[in-house]
Chains A and B, each alone.
Chain A
Amino acid sequence: MKAERKDAAPLLVVDHLKKVYPTPDGGVEAVRDLHFSVPAGQLACIVGPSGAGKTTLLKCIAGLLPITSGSVSLLGEGVTGPPQAMAVVFQENGRSLFPWMSVQANVELPLKSAGLSRDERRRRAEEALHAVGLDEVGGSYPWQLSGGMQQRVAIARAIAYQPKVLLMDEPFAAVDAQTRADLEDLIRTIWMQLGVTILFVTHDIDESVYLGERVIVLSNSPTVVQDDIAIDLPAERDQLTTRNAPRFAELRGRIYEQIQRAKHNRGTESIQVADAG
Chain B
Amino acid sequence: MRALTILKNAAFILALPLLLILLWWLGTLGGTNFYVPTPLQLIVTFFQTWFGERMVEDVLPSIGRLFAGIALTIAIGIAVGVVIGLFRPLRRVLEPLLEFFRAVPPPVLVPLLMLIIGVNDQMKVTVIVSGAVWPVLLNTVEGVRGTDQIMRDTARSYRMTRTQQLLHLVLPAASPQILTGVRQSLPIALILMVISEMFGSSTGLGLSILQFQRNFAIPEMWSGILVLGLIGFGLSIAFRIVERRILRWYHGLREVQREG
Is A101 an interface position by the 8 A CB rule? yes
| Residue from the list A99, A110, A113, A114 in contact with B249, Cβ < 8 A | A99
| B160–A84 CB distance below 8 A | no
Task: Kindly supply a per-residue 1/0 record for chain B positions 229-260, scoring 1 wherever the CB is within 8 Å of any chain A CB and 0 otherwise.
Answer: 00000000000000000000110110011000
B161 and A113 form a contact (CB under 8 A): yes
For A113, the closest partner residue in chain B by CB is B160
Q: Are A98 and B252 closer than 8 Å at their CB atoms?
A: no
Of the stretches A31-39, A88-96, A201-209, A268-276, the one at the interface is A88-96
Q: Which residue of A lies closest to B169 (CB)?
A: A98
User: Which residues of the partner chain A approach B164 to less than 8 Å between Cβ atoms?
Assistant: 109, 112-113
Cβ < 8 Å to B, chain A residues 113-170: 113-114, 141, 143-144, 161
Contact B150 A90 (CB under 8 A): yes
In the complex, chain A residues 55-94 whose Cβ is within 8 Å of any chain B Cβ: 59, 62-64, 81-82, 84, 86-88, 90, 92
Q: Across the interface, which residues of A come within 8 angstroms of B160, CB to CB? A: 109-110, 112-113
Q: Contact check, A161 vs B158: say whether CB atoms are below 8 A apart.
A: yes
> What residues of B have a CB within 8 angstroms of the CB of A63 in the complex?
157
B158 touching A100 by the CB < 8 A rule?
Answer: no
- Taking the complex as formed, is B18 at the interface, i.e. its CB lies under 8 A from any CB of chain A? no
Residues in B neighbouring A112, C-beta threshold 8 A: 160, 164
Contact between chains at B153 and A98 (CB < 8 Å): no
Contacts of B140 in A (CB 8 A): none
Chain A CB count within 10 A is highest, among B148, B159, B252, B257, for B159
Q: Are A96 and B154 in contact (CB under 8 A)?
A: yes
- In whole angstroms, what is the CA distance A277 to B160 when docked? 33
Q: B175 touching A100 by the CB < 8 A rule?
A: yes
Residues from chain A with a CB closer than 8 A to the CB of B156 are: 64, 81-82
B61 in contact (CB, < 8 A): no
Measured between alpha carbons, how far is A92 from B157 in the docked complex, in Å? 15
Whether B107 is near chain A, meaning CB under 8 Å from some CB there, is: no
Q: A95-B148, A95-B150, A99-B249 are in contact. Are A86 and B157 (CB under 8 A)?
A: yes
Tell me whether A98 and B157 are in contact (CB under 8 A). no
Number of interface residues of A (CB under 8 A): 27
Q: How far does the alpha carbon of A110 sit from the alpha carbon of B250 in the complex, in Å?
A: 22
With both chains docked as a complex, state the minimum distance between the C-beta of B49 and any C-beta of chain A, in angstroms. 46
Asked whether A100 lies within 8 Å of B250 as measured between CB atoms, the reply is: yes
Which chain B residues border A114 with CB–CB below 8 Å? 159
Contact with A along B89-111 (1 / 0, CB 8 A): 00000000000000000000000
Q: How far is the CB of B88 from chain A (nearest CB, A)?
A: 15
- Chain B residues contacting A110 (CB-CB under 8 Å) are 158-160
Cβ–Cβ < 8 Å partners of A143 in chain B: 249, 252-253, 256-257
In the bound assembly, the distance between CA atoms of A167 and B151 in angstroms comes to 16
Contact partner, A64, options B157, B168, B172, B253, Cβ 8 Å: B157
Write out, one digit per residue, whether chain A residues 228-243 have a CB within 8 A of any chain B CB (1) or not (0): 0000000000000000
A residues with CB within 8 A of B: 59, 62-64, 81-82, 84, 86-88, 90, 92, 95-96, 98-101, 109-110, 112-114, 141, 143-144, 161
Question: Which positions in B face A, CB cutoff 8 Å?
Answer: 148, 150-151, 153-154, 156-161, 164, 168-169, 172-173, 175, 249-250, 252-253, 256-257
Beyond A88-B153, A95-B148, A95-B150, 15 additional contacts (C-beta under 8 Å) are A62-B153, A81-B156, A82-B156, A82-B157, A86-B157, A90-B150, A96-B151, A100-B250, A101-B168, A109-B158, A110-B160, A113-B160, A141-B249, A143-B253, A143-B256
7 contacts between A and B (CB under 8 A): A81-B156, A95-B151, A98-B169, A100-B173, A101-B172, A112-B160, A143-B256
